[in-house]
Amino acid sequence: MTTTHKKRIAIFGSTGSIGTQALDVIAANPDKFSAEILTAQTNDELLVAQARQFDPNCVVIGDETKYQKVKEGLKDTNVKVFAGEDALVEAAAMDCYDMMLASIVGYAGLRPTLQAVEMGKAVGLANKETLVVAGDIVMRKAAENKAPIIPVDSEHSAIFQCMVGELRNPIEK
C-alpha cells in the first residue's frame, strides 16, 4: 500500500471567489489536499469561519485593524494569527506548504508571490496584475528557482492550455 502525500496549499486571498472555490475543492478532497495558510484583506468573519473549518497552520488578515477580531475568533484553536502586508510575505516564506494559490487582487499580491517563487514553491497564479507589473522579474525568478507557475484564472489559463506542447511551433502573436 502506498501512502500518498497530501498537497499542502497556501491560499493567498482565501475569501475571494477563486479562494472560496479552491477551498470547496479541498473540502471535497481532504485525502488529497490540506489548507495550510489562509489570507484575507478585510473579510475577517469569513476568514475566521474558513480557519475553523480547515484548521490551517496560520491565517493573515491584511487589514491590521481587524487583527483583534480574528485573534478573538480563533482563540480556542491552534491557528496562528498574523496581520499586515509584511505578514503576507512572512507567511509566504514559511515551509508549511507545497503550493501557493496567489489570488490576492492587484499589486498587493506581488511580494508574497515573489517570496514563494524564491523558495521554489509552485504557484497557481490567479492574479494577472502580478505578471503585468513584474512579469519579467517573476518569470526569471521562477526559472532560477525551478518554481512552476501555473495560470489558474480563466483567461490566462485558456491561453496557457492553448500553448501546451507548442515548443517546437512558437507562437508569433
pLDDT truncated to tens, each residue of the chain (173 aa)?
A: 555 689 999 999 999 999 999 999 999 999 999 999 999 999 999 999 999 999 999 999 999 999 999 999 999 999 999 999 999 999 999 999 999 999 998 888 999 999 999 999 999 999 888 888 888 899 999 999 999 998 887 555 455 555 555 555 555 65
C-alpha distances in Å from residue 97, one per residue of 9, 113, 162: 6, 13, 29
C-alpha distances in Å from residue 120, one per residue of 12, 139, 144, 172: 17, 12, 9, 30
Q: What share of the chain is helix, strand, coil (3-state, %, to 5)?
A: 45, 20, 35
- 26/9 Cα distance (integer angstroms): 9
C-alpha cell at 33: 489536499
pTM, rounded to two decimals: 0.87
Which burial class, exposed, middle or buried, applies to 20 when counting CB atoms under 10 A from its CB (0-12, 13-18, 19+)? middle
